[in-house]
Structure 1
Amino acid sequence: MYEKINREILEVKERVRRREKILSFINHADDNLKNELHRKDELKKILSKEELDVKKLEGLSIKGMFITLLGNKEEKLDKEKAEFLAAKLKYDSCCGTVKSIETDLQKYYGELREIGNANDDYEKLMRKKEQFILNAHDINTRKILDFAEERGSIEADLREIKQAIMAGNSVLNSLERAADALDTAENWGTYDMFGGGIISSMEKHSSIDEAVDYINDARDKLDRFRRELSDVNLSIDVTVDISSFDKFADYFFDGIFADWNVQSKIEDSQYSLRSTIYKVQRVIDNLKVKNDLGEEKLRKVKENFRSVIEKAED
């Protein structure tokens, strides 16, 4: 039952391997082509300059006439011609390299077209044989069912981890925006303490308001982040808060103490915010580690799953 399809799988796997090899050649050739095209442009500029230098000496330019009067025009012209020829050789060689790479790329793409959709063909054959095995109700049937169950479980875990990472990044984005706004508020506050006036005070409080908005946004997102973390058996112990600001003190009291009070609160909030950002980032980093481990585990399960199907015989 499996002899014919096993032979077809072996044949298509060879096409898959050949396709991967050609794609590797194409990637390498693309990189080389980009480098050579850049080099070609640079050499073209040098060649144009050297050609212009020769024409200036051969013509009746002011510089050419001056060199003639000094009696060394021929020597200078020979030197410029030699430099022009050297530049021309380098440019022509680069053009040849570019053409060769482009020819190789055309050949590789032609081979890809001949190979066709090898990966799709492989997957179709594997699904077909998988169905044969499931219908056979033998030892291989139990194996692929167990692997399929394990794969489904791992994929579900990875979906939860990825959702948690997305939620964490969303929290982090709001917190970092709040931090930027507080940095701006601190800068305006410093200026304000040394006589910045009403404009600097307004800008400072505008930045504070912006920071508060981002922090409120972060609080909402943090709730979702905590829910996502509970799905992957992780937790986060952070509080996102900002000190209440007396926004009117430095408007109504022209005193350095009121200014310092607001500035101190900004600095306290910055410290708290940086601490929160650090904690959230650590949790995200842990999630990424879990994701990488899960991806590797999934890869091995898929590999074992395919191996059972490919090796199954009558």
Structure 2
Amino acid sequence: MDNKQLQEIKDRLEVLPVLEHRMENLRGKVSVAKANVNTLLHKFEAESLDVENIKKDSLANSLRKLLGKYEGKVNKETQEMFAAKMEYDRATENVSVLCKEESELNVRLSELYELKHTVEDELAKREESIKNNISAESYKTYTEIEQEHEFLSGQLVEAEEAIRAGNNVLITAGNAMEHLNKAEDLATLDVWLDGGICTHKAKYNHIEEAQRNFNILNSQVKNFESELQDVNLQASYLSSEIDSTTRAVDFWFDNIFTDLKVRDRIRSDAESLRNLIDKINKTLRILETNRKELKKNLSDNESKKADLISSIEI
């Protein structure tokens, strides 16, 4: 294995400790999230709800059934039941997001473990040669370069993970915005042309899909904020942008189900979402600038290391 191949593999392995730590934390989150879902199911059972129907029925269908049963006037008990439905949906979406992340991380870790075993013997042989020459100036220089490389690589990994998390938020936010725009168009049709039951049903289906994406955003934004802390960037303001949009239950129980009010709420949610997307994009630009600077510093570091290694006879 030549020096270039060895360095390329070592660079890839720099991410391993970070991902192992992340996997440990992620498994804890999955466990807590699944326990939360079970707790909510028990809560439904305590209220004599049909658990299987609650798990399968959509938010829009639940809303329509309630409106039909109570003619638009929802009492306190039914409010609590519907709030529990929304809470359960949010919890299950959170588990789905976390499990997908765990699966993707497992694949990445497996690939890295294979690389680690491949280079262990080669690294041991080369490092032993350097250790045997501890009194040489090359040993001191090598150690300093390795320490700098380890620091820069760790910073680059954290920056790239933050960028990955931010892009995930943008994808979900884009999906939510698409459904909000469609829901607003249908709500406007209801206001001016009385679109009828089909339009009304389609509108609430898009509202439901937007709400589902907001539930996912809840988890993704928290993850992004956590990643930003790892690179010394503060962005606690991000959560506030989706706070109101993840509490639609406050609106749906207003007992005044007018088309104008629905349209106004859709527009309000869309505005909050636009603000979130704008702030995510600004933060990603900062992260990208940092990543480019780190890559330049790493390139300089690798050049110094390559020159040193090439001068050592094994």
| TM-score class, shorter | 0.5 to 0.7
- Partners of 1:234 and 1:306 in 2: CA distance: 33
Measure how far apart 1:151 and its partner are.
0.6
Who is 2:174 aligned against?
Answer: 176
- Identity of aligned pairs, percent? 26
Among residues 128, 132, 137, which one is paired with 1:135 in the alignment?
132
Measure how far apart 1:221 and its partner are.
1.3
- Partners of 1:305 and 1:141 in 2: CA distance: 12
Measure how far apart 1:189 and its partner are.
1.0
Gaps of 5+ in 2: 5-120
Who is 1:58 aligned against?
Answer: none
Larger Rg: 1
| 1:278-289 equivalent positions in 2, closer than 5 A | 278-289=278-289
Who is 2:93 aligned against?
Answer: none
- Contact 1:126-1:310 within 8 A present in 2 as well: no
Among residues 145, 154, 157, which one is paired with 2:155 in the alignment?
157
| 1:1-314 equivalent positions in 2, closer than 5 A | 131-137=128-134, 138-193=136-191, 194-236=193-235, 237-238=237-238, 239=240, 240=242, 241-242=244-245, 244-246=250-252, 258-311=258-311
Measure how far apart 1:134 and its partner are.
3.6
Q: Could you tell me the TM-score, scaled by structure 1's length?
A: 0.54
AA partner of residue 196 (structure 2): G
Moved over 6 A (4+): 124-130, 247-251
- Partners of 1:245 and 1:199 in 2: CA distance: 22
- Contact 1:250-1:259 within 8 A present in 2 as well: no
- Contact 1:184-1:204 within 8 A present in 2 as well: yes
- Partners of 2:307 and 2:122 in 1: CA distance: 14
> C-alpha offsets along residues 154-180 of structure 1, whole Å, 9 cap, x if unaligned?
111111112111111122221111111
> C-alpha offsets along residues 223-255 of structure 1, whole Å, 9 cap, x if unaligned?
11111111110121222132554489787xxxx
- Contact 1:161-1:232 within 8 A present in 2 as well: yes
- Partners of 1:126 and 1:303 in 2: CA distance: 19
Measure how far apart 1:185 and its partner are.
0.2
Q: CA RMSD in A?
A: 3.0
Measure how far apart 1:261 and its partner are.
1.9
Taking a change above 3 Å as real, the CA distance of residues 202 and 307 of structure 1, as seen in their structure-2 partners, is same
Taking a change above 3 Å as real, the CA distance of residues 228 and 178 of structure 1, as seen in their structure-2 partners, is same
Q: Could you tell me the TM-score, scaled by structure 2's length?
A: 0.54
Measure how far apart 1:131 and its partner are.
4.9
* Matched positions, count: 190
User: Residue 136 of structure 1: SS of its match in structure 2?
Assistant: coil
- Partners of 1:126 and 1:214 in 2: CA distance: 46
